[in-house]
Homo-oligomer: A and B are copies of this chain.
Amino acid sequence: MTETTPAARLADLGITLPTPAVPVANYVATVRTGSTLVVSGQLPLVDGALLATGKLGGAVDVETGVAAARACMINVIAQVAAALDGDLTRVRRVVRLGGFIACTPDFTTHAAVMNGASDLAVAVFGDAGKHARSTIGVPSLPLDAAVEVEGLFEID
């Protein structure tokens, strides 16, 4: 990992952070408590449309699931950036990611799907991107999204 900034790494990856999604209900995208920033569950929205709907183990293949998890993580990072006035150098650590994989009961490769989010966290934040995580299957998610990712960050 070279000594560079999260913004530079995002640029290297060809990722432009989207304008973060406004929650569709009576809650907010991020809350700071002490030096912890809690990020609401993000769906794989790209330009306002879900990148993947349906179930892993059903119509959604693992490769698409990985892309969806990555899209969720881009939205998590966009929410963090918005909370930090765009300055991602204020992220001290990606503390935890929670991955929710909509799937059939016989699906077993949740970890591979969630790596789409985890790999991006490390690619963008380097060692500070190494996080704890829990990944579970779910029967369905809001709007029939295939994946949802929530986050916990330590920030300046």
Contact = CB atoms under 8 A, between A and B. Distances in A.
B139 A103 contact: yes
A41 B133 contact: yes
Q: Assembly of this chain: how many copies?
A: 3
A132 B35 contact: no
Given A31-B132, A33-B36, A133-B41, A139 B138 contact: yes
Given A41-B133, A108-B142, A110-B142, A35 B33 contact: yes
Contacts of A41: 133-136
Interface in A79-128: 93, 95-98, 100, 102-112, 114-115, 118-119, 121-122
A135 to B, nearest CB: 6
B95 A140 contact: no
Contacts of A57: 140
B105 A55 contact: yes
B132 A148 contact: no
A41 B111 CA distance: 11
A25 B129 CA distance: 13
A149 to B, nearest CB: 9
A132 B25 contact: no
Interface of A: 23-31, 33-36, 38-41, 55, 57, 93, 95-98, 100, 102-112, 114-115, 118-119, 121-122, 130-144, 148, 150, 152, 154
14 contacts: A25-B115, A25-B118, A26-B122, A27-B130, A31-B131, A33-B93, A38-B95, A41-B133, A41-B135, A104-B105, A108-B140, A108-B144, A110-B142, A111-B142
